[in-house]
Amino acid sequence: MSNREPSAAIVAEAKAKRREPPEDAVFEYFKSYDGQQIRFARFPASTVINPKGTIIFLPGRTEFIEKFFEDIRIFNALGYACAAMDLRGQGMSYRPHSDRGKHFVRSFDPHISDVKALFDKALEGKMPKPFILMGHSAGSHVILRFLHDHPGYVEKAITVAPMVRIYLAGTPAFTVKALSWGMRHLGLGASYIAGHTSFKEGRWGWRKKLTHDDDRFADEDYFVKNKDMRLAVGGATYKWLWEALKSTDKLNAKGYAEAIETPVLILQASEDKIVDNTAQTAFAKRLPHGKLVVIEGAMHEILKEKDEYRAAVWAAIADFIVLNNASDTEAL
In the chain, what are the domain boundaries? 8-97+107-165+255-331
In this prediction, residues 212-223 reach a mean pLDDT of 94
Alpha-carbon span 47 to 99, nearest angstrom:
42
Q: Please check whether the domain covering 8-97+107-165+255-331 is classified as CATH 3.40.50.1820.
A: yes
DSSP assignment of 131-193 equals EEEEEETHHHHHHHHHHHHSTTS-SEEEEES--SSB--TT--HHHHHHHHHHHHHTT-TTSBP
pLDDT greater than 50 at residue 239? yes
234 pLDDT band (50/70/90 cuts)?
confident
Alpha-carbon span 242 to 256, nearest angstrom:
20
Contact of 124 with 154, CB cutoff 8 Å: no
Alpha-carbon span 115 to 106, nearest angstrom:
16
- Report pLDDT for 328: 43
In this prediction, residues 18-30 reach a mean pLDDT of 97
pTM of the model: 0.94
In this prediction, residues 170-195 reach a mean pLDDT of 92
SS3 of 77, please? helix
Percent of the chain with pLDDT over 90: 88
203 pLDDT band (50/70/90 cuts)?
low
Alpha-carbon span 203 to 186, nearest angstrom:
29
Amino acid letter for position 156? K
- Report pLDDT for 331: 33
In this prediction, residues 264-286 reach a mean pLDDT of 98
Mean of the per-residue pLDDT values for the chain? 93
Q: Between residues 120 and 3, which one has the greater pLDDT?
A: 120
